[in-house]
Chains A and B, each alone.
Chain A
């Protein structure tokens, strides 16, 4: 009987998942799921918790801590008034949304009771348990969550500057919602004329590793819609030896690129650009290669912000150390040398996941460990590397790619939404459900 009841409960849960996928038709992948909101009473404490950075990860952490702690001093440090919904940038750069689609205000997501210090983070001193702001104010903490994100290092490409986006055939989706719009206009002009289009990614870790792949697909689609595909040559150049870090996904994208006629070049790292001559220079194992272009999408190298890079928090060696990503335990986001410091979001030096979907899973794990520490208990919450990427393969279709640290495909809707199929349902999710889910996440509601 007990077994039967358990099976019924399992059936009900499965049915709920089916409802989620089929009836709502919006899915949202594991973005809709959560580690389960704690129903236990809030823990009383006078602990001082500082959150450096009020982007997706910082705001979500503040909301969740405010829910789970009573009496704690929670301080968010970030100067930015505007909040940017970065997963929307690709849709803006596809010409489907206006720049305003991705812009809201930080203030609307800051919980009552959370103290928002509108200044930059100038210094992090984990030995002294304090953060120094851009005005020189020192803020002491008992627990620190670093959520300062990834810095776009356009200067890492010789000759490149943000101000060049929209000129000389240069596009770059990442810089801002307006830059994404300008990128659309530049790409659209290319789609009218044709010529050589260059796409690619940096050698560093980057947020949303699927974005450059998507933008190549979108450009191909727009060229086809305008009947100009035969006028254009599309090249995708990656410093790595594959198209994506998850082999099964890389293989699928390889097949799709072959189908779409996108030429792939591995071991090509964009090092310089000559805007006047519209020429890009790539470092390859056999020397530099120059390629002339009519249109290029630049994804800048990325690194942690200076305050993190200059602190003791990054990995001491290796590429992650050079790029400044924090040395955290990949299972619980706790710093390996400073146990009262956690790193969540893009700044975390973990193998997978600089995406909003990862934030959704990083934050509750880190928060659970902090709350357990404060309450004098232990937490068994674990982050498994979950990342999600609705990989747009043309306007109207996407593949719902979800994976973990071990390169396994994690399926939110097994047997229902196939991860490696180009589906309308996955596109509908991206267009309709992701942003509301993301915003609910910031408020600590999802």
Chain B
């Protein structure tokens, strides 16, 4: 009898964030992902120096995601009560970090130009 309808998730998230913010976020994720792959293709690979720096920015994004979640739920680290709570903290951190890393790398690559060609010498 119990079924999980994935569309319910979408409906609940729309209800949670409001339709405008929800679709803006979805569009943002799609655009960032597509732009990331476009940059990869354009540069024929990952510019590792830029990516490592983006990952450092991503760490701040992960930390921000945790802080933001705690802020909107009026809670903090003292409320971590069991293993699933740590899983949730890690998942939020990972989502924030990965999102921010990709966003930072993509924006940087679009604004900052192509990966420099290795010296021909």
**Which A residues lie at the B interface, using CB under 8 A?**
13, 16-17, 20-26, 28, 30, 32-37, 96, 382, 394-397, 416-418, 421-425, 427-428, 431-433, 435-437, 439-440, 445-446
Let me know if A21 and B84 touch, CB within 8 A: yes
Q: Which of B5, B8, B13, B80 contacts A424 (CB 8 A)?
A: B80
In the assembled complex, the CB of A118 is this many whole angstroms from the nearest CB of chain B, namely 25
B2-37 contacts to A, CB under 8 A, are 2-6, 8-9, 11-16
B-side interface size class: 20 to 34
Query: Which of B76, B78, B82 has a CB less than 8 Å from the CB of A423?
Result: B82
Known: A17-B4, A437-B12. A424 touches B75 (CB 8 A): yes
Taking the nearest CB of chain B, how far is it from the CB of A163, in angstroms? 30
B88 located at the interface, meaning its Cβ lies under 8 Å from any Cβ of chain A in the complex: yes
Known pairs A22-B84, A36-B1; list 19 more (Cβ under 8 Å): A16-B4, A20-B4, A20-B9, A22-B87, A35-B3, A396-B75, A396-B79, A397-B75, A422-B81, A423-B81, A423-B84, A424-B88, A425-B85, A431-B74, A433-B12, A436-B12, A437-B8, A439-B15, A446-B11
Instruction: Decide: A37 near B15, CB < 8 A? Known: A21-B84, A22-B87, A22-B88.
Output: no
Residues of B within 8 Å of A424, CB to CB, are 75, 79-81, 85, 88
A20 CA / B6 CA spacing, docked (Å): 9
Q: Which residues of chain A have C-beta atoms less than 8 A from B87's C-beta?
A: 22
In the complex, residue of chain B having the shortest beta-carbon distance to the beta carbon of A23: B91
- B72:A432 contact, CB within 8 angstroms: yes
Cβ B9 vs Cβ A32 within 8 A:
yes
Contact of B4 among A32, A394, A433 (CB under 8 A): A32
**Known pairs A13-B4, A37-B5; A396 contacts B91 (CB<8 A):** no
Mark B residues whose CB is within 8 Å of A.
1-6, 8-9, 11-16, 69, 72-76, 78-82, 84-85, 87-88, 91-92
Given contacts A423-B81, A424-B81, contact A432 B73 (CB under 8 A): yes
Tell me if A445 and B79 are in contact (CB < 8 A): no
Partner of B2, one of A24, A30, A417: A30
Closest to A395 in B: B74
Partner pick for B16 among A13, A432, A445, CB 8 A cutoff = A432
Residue of B nearest to A433 (CB): B12
Q: Are B8 and A416 neighbours in the complex by a CB distance under 8 Å?
A: no
Of the candidates B69, B73, B81, B91, the one whose C-beta lies within 8 Å of that of A421 is B81
Is the pair B73, A446 in contact by a Cβ cutoff of 8 Å?
no
Q: Are B92 and A25 in contact (CB under 8 A)?
A: yes
Q: Using Cβ atoms and an 8 Å threshold, which residues of chain A touch B85?
A: 423-425
Whether B84 lies near A427 (C-beta < 8 A) is no
Q: Is the CB of B11 within 8 A of A445?
A: yes
Contacts of A433 in B (CB 8 A): 12, 16
- Given known pairs A421-B81, A427-B73, the reply for A36 and B3 (CB within 8 Å) is yes
Q: What B residues does A382 contact at CB under 8 A?
A: 1
CA separation between A194 and B92, bound complex, in Å?
Answer: 39
- Taking a contact as CB atoms under 8 Å apart, the answer to whether B92 and A16 are in contact is no
Closest 8 CB pairs of A and B: A396-B79, A436-B15, A396-B75, A436-B16, A36-B3, A424-B85, A25-B88, A431-B73
Do B12 and A421 touch across chains, with their CB atoms under 8 A apart?
Answer: no
Question: How far apart are the CA atoms of A439 and B14 in the complex, in Å?
Answer: 11
Residue of B nearest to A394 (CB): B79
